Each structure stands twice: as C-alpha cells, then as structure tokens.
Amino acid sequence: MFVQINDLHFSYKGAHEETIKGFSLSITKGEIISLLGDSGSGKSTILRLIAGLEMPNQGVVVVNDCVCCDDCQFMPPEDRGVGMVFQDYALFPHMTVEKNIRFGLHKLGRKERNARVEEMLALVNLTEFRHRYPYELSGGQQQRVALARALAPKPALLILDEPFSNLDTSLQHRIRDDLRRLLKQTGTTTIFVTHDEEDAEALADRIVYLGEGKIKKQVMTENNKTFNPQIPCFV
Amino acid sequence: MNWHAVKRQLNGWAILSFLAILLIVLPGIVVLIELFAPVNDNWQHIQEYLLPRYVRNTLFIMLATGVLTTVIGTSLAWFVTVYDFPFRRFFKWALILPLAIPPYIGAYTYHGILNYTGVIQTTLRNQFEITVDQSYFNIMSIQGTVFIFTLFLYPYIYTITRAFLHNQSSSMIENARILGRGSWDIFFTVVIPISRVAIIGGVSLVLMEVLNDYGVVKYFGIQTFSTAIFSTWFGMKDTSSALKLAGTLMILVIAILMMERLVRGRKQFSYASTKVKPLKPRPLHGWHRYAVFAYVSIVFAIAFVIPFTQLTAWTFLTFDTVFTAAFWQLVWNTVRVAFIATMIILLFALIIANYTRLFPSNMTRVISKVTTLGYSIPGAAIAIAVITLFLWLDDQVLSLARLFDLSQTFVFRTTLIMLIFAYVIRFLAIGYNSIESGFEKVGKSFTEASRMLGWNTVQTFLRVDIPMIKGAIMSAFILVFIDIMKELPLTLFLQPFNFSTLATQAFKYVSDEKIHEAALASIVIVLMSGLLIFVSHKVLDKEAD
C-alpha cells in the first residue's frame, strides 16, 4: 500500500476522551479519498496527524515506504513529503503568487525551480496573476494558488482540509471538477476532508465515513469505475 | 507522555527559553532567600518605627492616585469616544501625550513653576505686588505627589479604556440610547460595568508605576518603599534589610496582581472579535459642548502644555551652558544603552513567545507568566537584587582567577552589563506582550503551511513568522525603547562610574538644585518619547485596520 495508517490514537491535551480511537486506513497510489463526517468527528485531526502537525498517542503512519511515525520515532512535518492545502489557504500575505509557489521548492536547483513554478502557474491557470499578492485575488484564485503551492514540491501525498468551505456554491461545483481533473492529471494520492456528501461523491474515488473518531463505513463512488479498484469495500 | 513527546518538547526553543527565564527569576530568588534570612537589629528598628510609615505613605499615594486617575482617565475616554466636540480628533491622541513626560520631570517642572522664584509667584509679586502664602503653593507634599502621578499616569487608563469603548461597546450603548436612557445614566449603568475589566487593567498599570517610582518621591522628600530601600542600602549600608524591604514590596505587588486576577475572573480583557463596529460620536449642543471642551482642554493644558512650555522656556535660558559636547555624549549613551537592551529584549521575547506558541503545555503557560512578572517588580527591588547577584558573581570570578594565579581584574559591576541585565528583567514583559499578541493575531496556520512546504521551525521563524509580525515587533521596539529611555531608578543605581544618561543627568541637575539646567535633557526625553508614542499609535492603528 502506498499510504498505510494503523491503529491511530490521539487525544487533545487535557481531554479525558480520545478524539481518535484506533483509526486505520490503506490507500493505493493515485487514489482520492474523502473523509466525511460531522464536525467534531475528528476528521481534521486525522489530517493533522498524517501531516505531522499533531503527535499521536500511538499508531503508525507510513507514506510511500517511509515511516512517518510509529512507537519510537516521530518525523517532523517538514521531512514527510506531505503537501497540505489549509482550510483558510494560509497563503503568505507578504509574498506574491509566484513567491508563494516558489516557497517550497528550495531543495531544487535554480533552473529546475523556475521551470516548476512556470509549470504550476500554467497548471492552475494563473500565469498572468503571478505578481499579485494574495489579497488581490478572488477566493477561487486563492484556492488555486494554495493548491499549486502544495503540489509544487511533488508531494507523495496531498491532504486538503475542507477545500470548498470558503467558496460559494456555483464556484464550488466548477472547482471540484477542475480539482479532480488536476489531481488525476498529476497522479497525486489525495486525502480530503469535507462534511458535504455531494463534494465527496463528485471528487473522491472512495468515501470514508467517520464518526466518534472511528471509521463507520467505506463506500466506492461512481468515479471509482474509472479508477482501478483494488480495495475491498464495505457497503 | 511517551518519550518522543518529551524529545519534541525539549528542543532548541525550549532550552533557550529556559535560559532566558532563569536569568529573569534569578534576582527574584535572591530577594526571596533574603526575606527568610535571620533579621538584624536594624531590621527590627525599621520594622517597628519606619515600616508603618512607609506602608502608610505608599498605600495612601496608591489609593489616591488610583481613584483620581480612574476618574480622569475614564471620563476622558468616555467623552472622546461618545461625543463630538471641537478638536475631538486632535484630543483623541493628544491626551496620550502626558505619557511622554516622566513623572519625575513633571515633578521638578511643577515645583519650578510654583515655588517662590517660579513664574507664577514672580509675576504676582512683580506685576500685581501680591505676596502669597507659601503653603498654598507647596507641591512637595504627599498631596503634591498624588497630583503629579495623576497628571502623568492617567493616560494608561485613558488609552486602555478608550480602545475598549471604541471597539466593544457600540451596540450596547446604542441599545441603551434606543431604550431611552440618558447619557449620565448610560455612563454609570452600562459603560462603567462593561469596561470594568479594562479600567482595572489600566489602574494596575498605574499602581505598578507608582510603586516603581523613585524620582518623584525622592525629590519631594516623601518616604515610601522605594526611597526606603535606597536609604537603607546606601544610608545605613544595610543590604540585608534593604533586600527584606524589597521582598516585602514584591509581596505587596503580587497581592495587587492577584487581586486584579480575582476581580477579572474569567472575563476576557482583550477583544477577540474582528467584527467591531466603532461607535459613532454624537454631536453636543449648547453649553455641554463647551463644558466638555473646557474640561478636556484643561486636563491637556495642565498635564502637557504647561510643563512642556516651561521646559522649553528653561531650555532657551540655559541652552548655551548645557548644550556642549558632553551633552551629545549623554544622548549617545542614552540611545546606545536603550538600543542594545531593546534588541536583547526583542530577541528573548521572540524566542519565548514562539516557544510558548508552538509547544503549548502547562510548562509554557508558567514560562509565559514568569516572563511578564518582571514588569511588576519595582526598580528599587530589581536594582538591589541585581547588584547583590553581580557582587556574588564578581567574587566568584575573582576567586577563580586567584586559584589559577591570574591577575584578573575584570569585574561585572563596572560594566554596562549589569544595567542592561536589569533593563531586560524589568522591560521584557512589555516586549513580550506586544509580540505575543502579534503572534495571536496571525495564528498558527502560516507557520504550519511553511513546515508542510519543507522548512523547519528556525527557517520558518526567519522567513515567515518574523515578516508576518513585523508590525508587532516594531511597536514592541518603540514601547520598550521609550520606557528604557525614561527609566530612572535602575539607571541611577546601576550605571557604571562616569556614565550618565539623559534621565540620570537631568535628575542629577535637579538634585543639585539646578532645575533650569535639567530642562534640555528633559525636553529631549519628552520630544523623543512623544514622537515615538505618536509613531507607535500610527502603527497600531494601521495594524488594527
């Protein structure tokens, strides 16, 4: 499996009850997974645990044969090769669109870096907006910058936290189709969190229903027919 | 907690923060240890005959100043926020300006204006042939002390309360108006209760300043804790008793802080909401308009225009004798020492604030509290604790040198290190609060985004965190710099031989009864502080937008 999560447990400081109670999930390469659940079901927490922004009480996270955390090691987020699009996008306000995208490419050589920035700008259709600052962009454009920034370093796994929550409905529909096309085009393995079933149906190959910190059920979507299903599903 | 959780907590940020905190609490520990040491005869004498007077004077000054600054600060904040009257926009920030005049400068300026040879009595004698009863014009009393503190410290309450009223109260006040309540009614039944927490925050700042003061009470000859500590220390050469007085004072301060906490309870003092609707000021008509204008103008005149004009006049009078190469040296000393200390404070504040923000735990909460404690310890207590600490340190250095047969003569107490160390302890809180609130406003998601893009905490700190809170760092710099520039007791007692700043030189002139000569140094302090206060409010206003 490309991403393997085993028996993840987590509780916030001072809380008596665990927020995540034994979460396990396997993901094949290139698959798009949606974590669906009500607020408080722990779906964003799972993303933060995979990203390395929170430390689990116990459990194993393996991404692309690289052990991100288990009982005796914890890899900091910057070394995991996981990309993340934040709910509020978290675009650096003191940097232009181009600089935001360039930010994560410090490990590449100069030439490669420039080429990659151009590629990403073209991919999200923002080449002519490269010198704008984030506050000069619309919500949809900001989201595309955030996506381009996260995809630029070619992360093994991309995670998106409520990617459509800041967009109005008509924009939401268009963008989720674009997003799916883009993710498939780049072959990016993706996990995204949402509370909207329609979003999940439209974008994901597989929907994971979450409740009380555990998986309630998993369902393959219609999209999955175009994707090669290798995972048993429990409808 | 498993072991990699421990490892994650114990990183470079934690270690640097612990070291910084250790430096901060060291002098406090010196004072506390001495508090429980056996007493000597001197202490018994002090405790029996002097302490009651120190306590009585200190408490009276605190109580009276607290009440008066509250009345003036709150009423000004209310008028400026709620009513429209001539020059309201000017007064809105001009009423902060008295903060640029340190109380000790205000004290000797008013003494100079009111005494026998001062401008008022001279004019009365020469123009109108009136000789007045001196007792009416004697400001060097406990009431005079309260008068001075009230004039130059009310802006603490004014600024905090005004910001609170401006941001928080519009819907409540408008509702009260719609329900048919009159202005006075609203002020007492709505405004005072809802801004209670802000007012108490302001008053506790005023009281800390009163306890910290040495210049005013020393010049006026009033015996309080501050003067008592220094006279026991220098007059009686009794460090042990002086440290005990400092400890007693610290306990008093901690009691005030705990009282503030109790009154505040769980109520938030800051305003977290971003959806603030500022209150639209209501035009005043008829005599009300002029009454409010007159009140605001009179406070501004007494607290700023009059002392400032007098200082300017004295400056012209003595300019040729005072403005020499030595004066430039004073300015250079002041700016240099304030700059170095401010930079160290900002560095400490940034490290500690970033640590407490990135790794929140009970430990970081304690660290955050301790960081802000220094500001509430009065200068007199810090001064004696720091000297005691450095004397001990020098002894260790010297005995170590003797051990290795080195002719080591380096001692800390002849250097600026001691003074800068004391500044850092006292003013770290100001820099820290400002930077911490900057971080709070920005949130953590930018830092997390940077880490997800492959940068570690140090790289993120330099490339993302610092640029994001530029405004907060800037205002922290200004606030700390002003405070150090005005600072008197620490500088007076910890400055090395042959080193003076504008503040200590002004105080030295005044102590030698050369009040006019002190004007130039004083006015430079006032102008620089005034300018920086103006800039910082511009920065803060822009930040708020």
B361 interfacial to chain A (CB closer than 8 Å)? yes
Q: Which of A51, A58, A107 sits opposite B452 (nearest CB)?
A: A51
Average pLDDT over every residue of A165-171: 77
Q: From the candidates A58, A78, A120, which should be mutated to test the interface with B, based on the most B CB atoms within 10 A?
A: A78
Structure tokens at B185: 């009614």
B452 and A82 in contact by Cβ < 8 A? yes
Helical segments of B359-416, H only:
362-373, 379-403
- Residue B139 is assigned to a structural domain of this protein: yes
- Residue B3 is assigned to a structural domain of this protein: no
The string of pLDDT tens digits covering residues B87-114 is: 998 998 899 999 899 999 999 999 999 8
Q: Which of B2, B4, B451 sits opposite A78 (nearest CB)?
A: B451
B4 and A94 in contact by Cβ < 8 A? no
The string of pLDDT tens digits covering residues A196-217 is: 888 888 889 999 998 888 888 8
Q: Which of A55, A83, A88 sits opposite B452 (nearest CB)?
A: A83
Q: Say what the pLDDT of residue B8 is.
A: 63
Q: Which of A55, A83, A84 sits opposite B5 (nearest CB)?
A: A55
A92 and B464 in contact by Cβ < 8 A? yes
B10 interfacial to chain A (CB closer than 8 Å)? no
B451 interfacial to chain A (CB closer than 8 Å)? yes
Q: In a 3-state reduction of DSSP, which class is residue B75?
A: helix
A153 and B445 in contact by Cβ < 8 A? no
Are the beta carbons of A100 and A120 closer than 8 angstroms? Answer: no
Structure tokens at A221: 């979507």
Q: Say what the pLDDT of residue A74 is.
A: 86
The string of pLDDT tens digits covering residues B246-266 is: 888 888 888 877 877 777 665
Average pLDDT over every residue of A161-186: 82
Q: Which of B4, B455, B463 sits opposite A78 (nearest CB)?
A: B455
- Residue B4 is assigned to a structural domain of this protein: no
CB-defined contacts A:B, below 8 A: 71
CB count within 10 Å of CB A66 equals 12
Architecture of domain A3-226: 3-Layer(aba) Sandwich (3.40)
Q: Say what the pLDDT of residue A5 is.
A: 92
Q: Least CA distance to A79: which residue of chain B?
A: B454
Q: Say what the pLDDT of residue B2 is.
A: 57
A63 interfacial to chain B (CB closer than 8 Å)? no
The pLDDT tens digits along chain B (545 residues) read 455 666 666 688 888 998 888 888 888 888 888 888 888 888 888 888 888 888 899 999 999 999 999 999 999 998 998 888 889 989 988 999 998 999 999 999 999 998 877 888 888 888 887 777 777 778 889 999 999 999 999 999 998 888 888 776 677 777 777 777 777 777 787 777 778 878 888 888 899 889 889 999 999 999 998 888 888 888 888 888 888 888 888 888 888 778 777 776 655 444 444 445 667 788 888 888 899 999 999 999 999 999 999 999 999 988 888 888 888 999 999 999 999 999 999 999 999 999 998 888 888 888 888 888 888 788 888 888 898 888 888 888 888 888 877 766 667 777 899 999 999 999 998 899 889 888 988 888 899 999 999 999 899 999 999 999 988 898 889 889 999 999 998 998 898 888 999 999 999 998 888 888 888 999 999 999 989 888 877 766 665 54
From residue A212, alpha-carbon distances to A11, A23, A87, B157, B529 in Å are 12, 10, 21, 48, 57
Chain B hits for A91, Cβ within 8 Å: 449
DSSP designation for A221: -
Number of domains in chain B: 1
* Cα angle B266, B267, B273; round to 5: 130
DSSP designation for B38: P
The string of pLDDT tens digits covering residues B382-434 is: 888 898 888 888 888 888 888 877 766 667 777 899 999 999 999 998 899 88
Q: Say what the pLDDT of residue A231 is.
A: 45
CA distance A45 to chain B (A): 14
Q: Say what the pLDDT of residue B442 is.
A: 85
Higher pLDDT, A39 or B483: B483
- Residue B284 is assigned to a structural domain of this protein: yes
Are the beta carbons of B229 and B249 closer than 8 angstroms? Answer: yes
Q: Say what the pLDDT of residue A232 is.
A: 43
What is the pTM for the complete model shown? 0.85
Q: How far apart (Å, rounded) are the C-alpha atoms in residues B183 and B164?
A: 18
Structural domain that includes position B149: 11-544
B454 and A86 in contact by Cβ < 8 A? no
- Residue B137 is assigned to a structural domain of this protein: yes
Q: How far apart (Å, rounded) are the C-alpha atoms in residues B448 and B101?
A: 44
Q: How far apart (Å, rounded) are the C-alpha atoms in residues B239 and B233?
A: 5
Tell me the β-bridge partners of A26.
Answer: A4
Supply the CATH number for residue B118's domain.
1.10.3720.10
